[in-house]
Structure 1
Amino acid sequence: MTVTFLNVHKTLRQKNKRTKVFEAAHAVFAPGSITGILAAPGAGKTTAANLATGKLRPDLGRVQRSSLVSFPVASGGVFNGSLTGRENLAFLCRVFGFDPRPIIKFVLDFTELGPAIDKPFKLYNRDERTKLMFASCYAIPFDIYVVDEAMVGGRGQFRNKCDELVRERMRTAGFAVFSSSPSLLRKYCSELYFIDKLGLHKAASIEEAAAIIGEANLTNGEGYSESVNDSGDSDIINPR
C-alpha cells in the first residue's frame, strides 16, 4: 500500500501566468515509513502534497494511491464554514467511509471544545479552529498522513497532547512530511526525498538534500503552528 508518483508533470496556471512545478517526477511513499520531502519555499512542496492527497491532478503521468491517504493536516480547505464542527466531522467521516460517532467522541474528548462543536465553523475563534483542524485529521485512522509544514498545533497543554498523538499515529501509520525545515525532517523521518529542478529525488541524508538545495534557501522550523487564521492557513513558528 503506497502513494506513488509516476512520471508526474504539473504546471500551475493563474490568470496569464504559468509556473512549471514538476517534470517527470517519481517517488514512492509507503504506509510503514515516515518520509520527509525537503524543499525550498516556493519550490513545489504544497503542490506535491496536494498531488499526494488527490486535491490536484497531474497534467501528465499518474499518482497512484493504494492506501487511505489523509487530507493535509490542519487544512482549512476541507471545512465548510456554514456547517458546525460536528457536521464537518460527520461529513469527513462519510467521505472516508468511517462511522462518525467514535471519531466525533474522540475529537470532543481530545479538544475539550464542549458546546463549540455545535456552532458554525466560521464562528470559531483561532484556538477553537486550530484544535478542531489538527484533531480532526489525526482522529481518522488513515494509512498515510500528509503534512505540509504544520505537524503539531495549538498552545500549552493542547500542543503537548497533539505531539503525543502524532507520535502514537507514527507507530501505526506512515507519514509524508513536506517541509522546508531540515531540523523537522531530521527529527522524525527515516526516508528522504527533496524537490529540485522540477523533480522529486531520493536522498541518503538530510545533509545531502540540504547541500543540494542550499542551506540559505531553507528554514529551521519545528513543524509547530500556534494557530490557524481565518483563511485556514497555519501561522508557522520558525525559530532560528
Structure 2
Amino acid sequence: MIELIDVCKKYEVRDGKRLVLDNVNCQIKRGEHIGILGKNGAGKSTLIRLISGSELPTAGQIKRGMSVSWPLAFSGGFQGSLTGLDNLRFVCRVYSASYEKALPFVEEFTGLGNYLREPVKRYSSGMRAKLAFAISMAIDFDCFLIDEVIAVGDSEFQRKCHIELFEKRSDRAMIMVSHDPRMIREHCTRSYVIESGILRYFSDVETAYEYYERPLGN
C-alpha cells in the first residue's frame, strides 16, 4: 500500500510561498486504479512527483509499501551524454533489475534501432519519451504513475503502450492524471479531485466528474 499522511507542498515564488498541497491524506492499495482530476496548476503533477519520490514533501509523510515507477514517459532523469543503452543499464542498476533481460524488450518496443547507441541529448523529445516508457515497462513495478502518458508517439506506438500497460499489467496499481475523461472513466475505479490544495476523495469516477465539472461557485 502507498499512504500519504498530512502531506503539504509549498514552492517559493516571487511574493513568498505558494501552498500547492495542503494536508493531503490518501491510500492506494495493490491493484487499485486511481484517477486524479484537477484544473491546470492545481497540483496533479506535483502529487505524482511526490509519490514517485522525485520530489520531497514540505511536510508530512509518504509511506511506500510497494515499488513505484517514475512518471511514465518522463525522461528528465536521463543523462544526455550517455547513450540510450547506457541509460537503460544505469536505471536497471538503480532498481536492481536485470539489464540483460530488459535489453531485448527495450530494443523491440522502442523501434529506435541504432539510435539506442547514440547519446540521448541527440534524441527528439518523442524518442526520449519512447525510451522512458519502454524502460518503465521493462522493470517490474507494483504501481505505475501515469501523467498523460498515452499521448506519446504516433497512433501505432500509443496502441502498443495501451496493450503493455492496461492489458498486460492490469493487475498493477495505477495512479493516473489525465485531461481526457475517457481515459479515467475507462481505466479507473475511483477518483480524487485536487482543488485549492485540498485532495477530495470520491468513491466512484462519475461522482468525481460531477463535482469537477460543476459550475464555479457551486
Relative to the length of structure 1, the TM-score reads 0.83
8 Å CA contact 1:37–1:192 kept in 2: the answer is yes
Determine the C-alpha separation between the residues in 2 that align with 1:175 and 1:16: 36
Match of 1:7 in 2: 6
Determine the C-alpha separation between the residues in 2 that align with 1:143 and 1:98: 14
Determine the C-alpha separation between the residues in 2 that align with 1:179 and 1:215: 18
Moved more, 192-201 or 35-44: 192-201
Matches within 5 A, 1:86-235: 86-151=85-150, 153-214=152-213
Matches within 5 A, 1:45-84: 45-84=44-83
**When the two structures are aligned, how many residues end up with a matched partner?**
216
Determine the C-alpha separation between the residues in 2 that align with 1:57 and 1:125: 29
Cα distance, 1:187 vs structure 2: 1.2
Determine the C-alpha separation between the residues in 2 that align with 1:118 and 1:143: 29
* Secondary structure class of the residue paired with 1:77: coil
8 Å CA contact 1:38–1:182 kept in 2: the answer is no
Output the amino acid matched with 1:96.
Answer: Y
C-alpha distance 203-62 of structure 1, shift in aligned 2 (>3 A): same
Cα distance, 1:175 vs structure 2: 0.6
Determine the C-alpha separation between the residues in 1 that align with 2:128 and 2:56: 28
Report Cα offsets for 1:186-225 as digits up to 9, x if no partner: 01101222212322221133332233233579xxxxxxxx
* Secondary structure class of the residue paired with 2:21: strand
Determine the C-alpha separation between the residues in 2 that align with 1:170 and 1:190: 16
8 Å CA contact 1:9–1:21 kept in 2: the answer is yes
Determine the C-alpha separation between the residues in 1 that align with 2:41 and 2:8: 17
Match of 2:36 in 1: 37
* Secondary structure class of the residue paired with 1:42: coil
Determine the C-alpha separation between the residues in 1 that align with 2:109 and 2:13: 39
Output the amino acid matched with 1:35.
Answer: I
* Secondary structure class of the residue paired with 2:71: coil
Cα distance, 1:124 vs structure 2: 1.3
Relative to the length of structure 2, the TM-score reads 0.91
Determine the C-alpha separation between the residues in 1 that align with 2:19 and 2:115: 42
C-alpha distance 149-80 of structure 1, shift in aligned 2 (>3 A): same
8 Å CA contact 1:53–1:146 kept in 2: the answer is yes
Give runs of ≥4 in structure 1 deviating > 6 Å: none
Match of 1:229 in 2: none
8 Å CA contact 1:152–1:162 kept in 2: the answer is no
* Secondary structure class of the residue paired with 2:70: coil
C-alpha distance 108-216 of structure 1, shift in aligned 2 (>3 A): farther
* Secondary structure class of the residue paired with 2:149: coil
Cα distance, 1:101 vs structure 2: 1.3
* Secondary structure class of the residue paired with 2:76: helix
Query: Which residues of structure 2 form unaligned runs of 5+?
Result: none
Percent same amino acid among aligned pairs?
A: 31
Q: CA RMSD in A?
A: 1.9
C-alpha distance 94-163 of structure 1, shift in aligned 2 (>3 A): same
Cα distance, 1:7 vs structure 2: 0.8
Match of 1:26 in 2: 25
* Secondary structure class of the residue paired with 1:159: helix
Determine the C-alpha separation between the residues in 2 that align with 1:141 and 1:61: 28
